[in-house]
Amino acid sequence: MSDRPMVRLRGVGKGYGSAATRVEVLRGLDLDVNRGELLAVIGPSGVGKSTLLHLIGLLDRPEGGRLELDGDAVGELDGEARAGIRNRLIGFVFQHHHLLDELDARDNVALPLRIARWPARRARARADELLASVALTERASHFPDQLSGGEQQRVAVARALAASPRLLLADEPTGNLDYANAEQVFALIRALHLMVGLTSIIVTHNEAMARRCDRIFRLAPPGERSDYVRTI
């Protein structure tokens, strides 16, 4: 059903370690992200923002509660099913670009498509289209160490979108960039979000950027209330 949220968490819990080293991070967390929404997630360092994105991105499992993506419960699925959903539905952008140093920009963007068994030529042609959409046509044959930080992040955005995900998860995608580059990368994510009709979640410490998202969700430590906020 199309009116169901793209992402729905109910009573989700997550911690790390056991006994004396146990850290409880998320407890009883509820969150809805509507289809087509651009949601900012804010909160202090260490509160669990990356943990939350890892759960939603099926890179890690909740310890309790219910997690639904696109209307389906996904918290209990096995590894293969989770990888399938991840590849089909989700694109990631991290704070550090995570590009492969030995591949040029084009092949970095094409990599998810090659993994999805696209023929090399088609994958490269699609990568070139994506590089054009992030204004990097001129840099397609450059390697990551030949690109500026902002350019690397734009390649990472293009790569995240390569397999046409419906959900984009970005963990401080502009955290390592100066003001002008951060602005460019954020504006690009927002423009592509609208153009492609994505649902997007962006973790950010940048309040001005958070305010330009559709809604802001403030994550709080266990025992305090996490909630949507109007002002920050």
Ligand X SMILES: Nc1ncnc2c1ncn2[C@@H]1O[C@H](COP(=O)(O)OP(=O)(O)OP(=O)(O)O)[C@@H](O)[C@H]1O
Contacts with ligand X by CB under 6 A lie at 16-17, 23, 25, 43, 45-51
Residue 179 touches which of Mg ion, ligand X, none (Cβ within 5-8 Å per kind): none
> Least distance (Å) from Mg ion to the CB of residue 95?
7
User: How many residues sit in the footprint of Mg ion (CB under 5 A)?
Assistant: 2
Nearest-angstrom CA–CA distance, 103 and 190? 27
Alpha carbons 228 and 217: distance in angstroms, whole number: 4
Q: Which of 50, 153, 174, 184 binds Mg ion (CB under 5 A)?
A: 50
Q: Which residues pair with 91 in a beta bridge?
A: 168
Q: Which two tokens stand for residue 146?
A: 């030949």
Closer CB to Mg ion, residue 54 or residue 61?
A: 54
Minimum CB distance to ligand X, residue 198 (Å): 22
Going by C-beta distance under 8 Å and a sequence separation of 6 or more, which residues neighbour residue 56? 7, 9, 67, 69, 167, 169, 201
Exposed, middle or buried: residue 13 (CB in 10 Å: 0-12, 13-18, 19+)? middle
| From ligand X, Mg ion, none, interface partner of 16 (C-beta below 5 to 8 A by class) | ligand X
CB-nearer residue toward Mg ion: 107 or 172: 172
Judged by the rule CB under 5 A, the positions of this chain that interact with Mg ion are 49-50
